[in-house]
Amino acid sequence: MAKLMTLEEAREALLLQASRERLTTSERVALGEADGRVLAEPLHAALDLPPWPNSAMDGYALRFEDWVGVPLPVSQKIFAGSAPAPLQSGTCARIFTGAPLPEGADTVEMQENTRLAADGSVEFTEALQRGRHVRPRGGEAQTGELVLERGTRLGPVELALAASLGAVELAVVRRPRVALLSTGDELREPGSPLGPGQIYNSNRYLLASWLRRLGCAVQDEGVLADDPQQIREVLDSLKDVDLILATGGVSVGEADYLGQILQSSGELTLWKLAIKPGKPLTCARYQDTPVIGLPGNPASALVTFGLLARPYLLRRLGIERVIPLALEVPAKFERSRPGNRREFMQARVVEGRVVLHENQSSAVLRSAAWADGLVELPEGQVILPGQPVRFIPYSELID
């Protein structure tokens, strides 16, 4: 038997290809439209953030030197959004969180550490510290500073940060165009009745929605029958796509016409990966368009998309860090007979320990729907309860 390829070898090969074919075209989109997109240009601060020193607390602002142990009269009240007058020396200012510090003040004391005297002046009940509770001008970012790198995937936090810097639009990488092919004579669409031997096409929904979450423009070609003529016509009709993603029929078995066509009129590499599920993976080109062929079994398609196709697409978008984060969590199970492939099992974390779903069949989606993530069990290794195992939360994969 040929040596199996490790997940890392396969991923490195895919990432290398992806790095060579990064998408270079960008477009400008409004901040409100940029969720899930990838920055095509670095974002530099257009202003100092915050633009002026302000108070981190509700309390009193003063010049530290003016505090000599006697109460200070209050000379003004400063709310967030107002423009204060310079601080009169020997006084303090009532100030609220986020309000600008008056010129001359350098310290804020929180109201909990003060007492109002009968004449309205403020007594400080604790020792003050110079500069305390002041957010300095430019403390988060200074004008011109690099704030978000090119290749950053934009989510709620990044968009909020860009907004805090006054960005109106962002330059993002254009959406990758992905043609999605489901293959197999047995596949029917929900809505039409099942005949003998037929099943509903689930991978189409798995992959189309996942691709869209990754910011891809999906060209969904639906089901291709196991018919070489039709498959060739569909392949030839694909224009301007960045990736052809296929599931099922991609090995070179008798009815695996897609694999056969790719082998005869393109380049085809069939990988046998040392992972379970998801052993067969096809990496090909058809008329210069990259093709990734995922196995047909739904849980295999899920694992290989998440661990290989997703990083590949993210890298084509220009993202550097594309490998999902894994946490070490103690096992709440025992595995006495390890196999020779690394196993990815549907798992949940319950009270800080990893439990496995009882059904790990690659044909089954219910266990994945139940799971919070995949536990990664190394080949040839016995696992005892309490032993730490790598757990990849689905939030790291399906985002």
Q: In the complex, which residues of this chain contact Mg ion (CB under 5 A)? A: 184, 248-249
Residue 263, phi-psi category: left (phi > 0), alpha (psi -120 to 50), beta (remainder): alpha
Nearer to Mg ion, 249 or 277 (CB): 249
Stretch touching ligand AMP by CB under 6 A, among 103-111, 292-300, 336-344, 377-385: 292-300
Taking CB positions, which residue lies at the least distance from ligand AMP?
A: 296
When binding is defined by CB under 6 A, the residue of 204, 310, 332, 342 that contacts ligand AMP is 204
Element (H, E) at 160: helix 156-164
Interaction partner, residue 201 (Mg ion, ligand AMP, none; CB < 5-8 Å by kind): ligand AMP
* Closer residue to ligand AMP, CB minimum distance, 152 or 297: 297
If binding is defined by CB under 6 A, does position 187 make contact with ligand AMP? yes
Q: How far is the CB of 315 from ligand AMP (least distance, A)?
A: 25
Report yes or no: 240 and 200 within 8 Å, Cβ to Cβ.
Answer: no
* Backbone conformation region of residue 386, classed left if phi is above 0, alpha if psi is from -120 to 50, else beta: left
Q: How far is the CB of 345 from ligand AMP (least distance, A)?
A: 19
Q: How far is the CB of 292 from ligand AMP (least distance, A)?
A: 13
- CB-side neighbour CA atoms (13 Å) of 10: 26
Q: Which stretch binds ligand AMP (CB under 6 A): 9-17, 87-95, 293-301, 312-320?
A: 293-301
Residue 7-26 contact track with ligand AMP, rule CB under 6 A, x = bound: --------------------
State yes or no: residue 184 binds ligand AMP (CB under 6 A): yes
CB atoms under 10 Å from CB of 163, counted, come to: 12
Question: H-type helices in 198-323, by residue range?
Answer: 203-213, 228-237, 257-265, 298-304, 310-316
- What binding mask, one character per residue, do residues 237-256 give for ligand AMP by CB under 6 A, x or -? ----------xxx-------
Collect all residues with Cβ–Cβ distance below 8 Å to 314 and sequence separation of at least 6: 38, 153, 214, 322
Q: Which residues are within 8 A (CB) of 68 and not within 5 positions of it... i.e. 6 or more apart?
A: none
Alpha carbon of 88 to those of 15, 74, 136, 228: distances in Å?
Answer: 62, 10, 20, 86
Nearer to ligand AMP, 26 or 201 (CB): 201
Q: Residue 152's binding partner, choosing from Mg ion, ligand AMP, none, with beta-carbon cut-off 5 to 8 A by kind? A: none
Q: Applying CB under 6 A, does 361 fall inside the site for ligand AMP?
A: no
Q: Which is nearer to ligand AMP, 224 or 241 (CB)?
A: 224
Query: CA triplet 176, 276, 231: central angle to 5 degrees?
Result: 45
* CA–CA gap between residue 93 and residue 105 (Å, rounded): 9
Radius of gyration of the chain from its Cα atoms, rounded to whole angstroms: 29
Region near ligand AMP per CB under 6 A, out of 4-12, 32-40, 184-192, 378-386: 184-192
Q: Is 203 in the site for ligand AMP (CB under 6 A)?
A: yes
Please give the residue whose beta carbon sits closest to Mg ion in the complex.
184
The DSSP call for residue 305 is I
Partner whose binding site includes residue 304, from ligand AMP, Mg ion, none (CB under 5 to 8 Å by kind): none
Nearest-approach distance from CB 198 to Mg ion, in angstroms: 12
221 touches ligand AMP by CB under 6 A? no
Residue 295 in the binding site for ligand AMP (CB under 6 A): yes
- Do 37 and 154 form a contact (C-beta atoms < 8 A)? yes
The single-letter DSSP state of residue 219 is E
What are φ and ψ of residue 223, in 5° steps?
Answer: -90, 135
The SS3 assignment for 162 reads helix
Angle, alpha carbons 372-4-324 (nearest 5°): 30
296 is an interface residue for ligand AMP by CB under 6 A? yes
Is residue 277 a contact residue for ligand AMP (CB under 6 A)?
Answer: no
Using CA atoms, how far apart are residues 381 and 250, in angstroms rounded to an integer? 31
Residue 344 and residue 341: Cα distance in Å, rounded? 9
Sites for ligand AMP among residues 91-150 (CB under 6 A): none
| 202 interacts with, out of Mg ion, ligand AMP, none, CB within 5 to 8 A per kind | ligand AMP
> If binding is defined by CB under 6 A, does position 201 make contact with ligand AMP?
yes
From the list ligand AMP, Mg ion, none, pick the one residue 182 interacts with, judged by a Cβ distance below 5 to 8 Å according to partner type: ligand AMP
Q: Which residues bind ligand AMP (CB under 6 A)?
A: 182, 184, 186-187, 199, 201-204, 247-249, 295-298
